[in-house]
């Protein structure tokens, strides 16, 4: 059975289910367009002798930010995974986009960890996300079938009871 999670000793990896090839192609196409169109526009204006204007710089910045956001979405839907490392007194959470990592959080453990399933989307989809209850909860974003999450929580509770 192909699971979306992998638990090795104290490291939990939640893998995002890849979007369809069509969806990923459209996402990457828009990402490339957000980065390239403003550059082509500026180059075209400069070659026509119109010069560089303040509005060109503003548009370049806006489209750059939108392009970076689209790049994150594209990479997440292609290579995305969440890595949670359980240490004796803290938990480390990392969102991994494949080309870069983001969202690294260190959370101190002051009481026993409680693992919960939070349902996401429509009830008939039967998908949820893992929530690790602590002083500042860790809310994972990887949608996983609820039965698979319950199996994971049982494994996590067994690992906690061993320590």
User: How far apart (Å, rounded) are the C-alpha atoms in residues 7 and 32?
Assistant: 36
Domain segments of the chain: what residues? 5-16+80-162, 21-77
The pTM of this model reads: 0.83
E-state strands within the chain: 5-8, 11-15, 81-86, 90-96, 101-108, 114-120, 127-133, 138-139, 144-145
Architecture of the structural domain at 5-16+80-162: Roll (2.30)
pLDDT in tens, 108-137: 888 888 999 999 988 888 999 999 998 888
Residue 21 has pLDDT above 90, yes or no: yes
Query: Which pLDDT belongs to residue 160?
Result: 64
Per DSSP, the three-state class of 31 is helix
- Asked whether 94 and 83 are in contact (CB, 8 A), the reply is yes
In the chain, the N- to C-terminal Cα span, in Å, equals: 28
């Amino acid at each position: 059975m192909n699971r979306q999670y992998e638990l090795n000793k104290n490291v939990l990896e939640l893998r995002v289910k890849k979007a369809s090839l069509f969806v990923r192609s459209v996402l990457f196409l828009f990402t490339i367009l957000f980065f390239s169109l403003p550059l082509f526009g500026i180059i075209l204006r400069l070659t026509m002798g119109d010069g560089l204007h303040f509005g060109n710089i503003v548009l370049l910045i806006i489209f750059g930010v939108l392009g970076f956001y689209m790049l994150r979405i594209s990479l997440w839907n292609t290579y995305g995974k969440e890595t949670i490392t359980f240490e004796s007194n803290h938990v480390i959470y990392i969102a991994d986009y494949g080309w870069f990592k983001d969202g690294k959080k260190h959370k101190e453990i002051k009481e026993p960890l409680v693992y919960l399933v939070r349902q996401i989307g429509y009830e008939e989809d039967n998908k949820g996300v893992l929530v690790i209850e602590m002083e500042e909860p860790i809310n994972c974003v990887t949608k996983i079938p609820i039965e698979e999450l319950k199996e994971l929580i049982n494994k996590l509770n067994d690992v906690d009871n061993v320590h």
